[in-house]
Amino acid sequence: MAEKEYRLGSHTVYDIKYHLVWVTKYRYKVLQGDLALRTRDVIRQACMAREIKILKGHVSRDHVHLFVSSPPGLSVSQIVQYVKGKSSYVLQQEFPELKRRYWGRHLWARGYFCASSGTVTDEMIKAYIEHQDAPRDDGFKVADEKL
C-alpha cells in the first residue's frame, strides 16, 4: 500500500485534490495536433505558477480533464478561472486560427465540472466527530488517572 503523501505549506499540512473538467466553447473539436500539445504545456505552466500539482491530465479534442492537488489558499473557482483564462489568452495569441473561430475571445465555455477527492469518506468524518468525547482505552495509562 502506498504511503500517504501530504503536501506542506509554511504553516499547513494538506491533501486537497480536485477532478476538474471544462469544455471548449460550442464543443468545437479544436484541441488537436500542435494546439493540443501547446494546451498541455500552457496548463502545466499555469499550474506550476500557483503551486498546483497535476496528478493526472488529459487533453481531448473538445475538453480537458485535470486531477490536481491544490494549496488550501486557493478556491476551486480561483484555480479554474486562472488556468482557463491564462490558457485561453496564450493559445489565442499563438494560434491565429483560434481568433477567427472564437471572435469573442473565449476559447473555453463558461462552466466547469469539479469533484473533490480524498481518502476519507463522509461516514469516516461523521464517526470521528461523533466519538470525540468518548473515553479512550489506548493502553497508555497515567498512574493518578481517575476512571
65 vs 122, which has greater pLDDT? 65
**Res 100: pLDDT:** 83
Residue 128 designated active-site? yes
User: Domains along the chain?
Assistant: 11-118 (3.30.70.1290)
pLDDT tens readout for residues 31-51: 999 999 999 999 999 999 999
**Res 3: pLDDT:** 55
The catalytically annotated residue of 6, 26, 89, 128 is 128
pLDDT tens readout for residues 70-102: 999 999 999 999 999 999 999 999 999 998 888
Q: Answer yes or no: is pLDDT of 1 > 80.
A: no
Q: Answer yes or no: is pLDDT of 118 > 80.
A: no
Average pLDDT on 5-26 reads 91
Distance CA 44, CA 54 (A): 7
Q: Answer yes or no: is pLDDT of 146 > 80.
A: no
* Nine cell digits for residue 2: 502506498
Please state the φ and ψ torsions of residue 67, each to the nearest 5 degrees.
-115, 110
Distance CA 127, CA 103 (A): 53
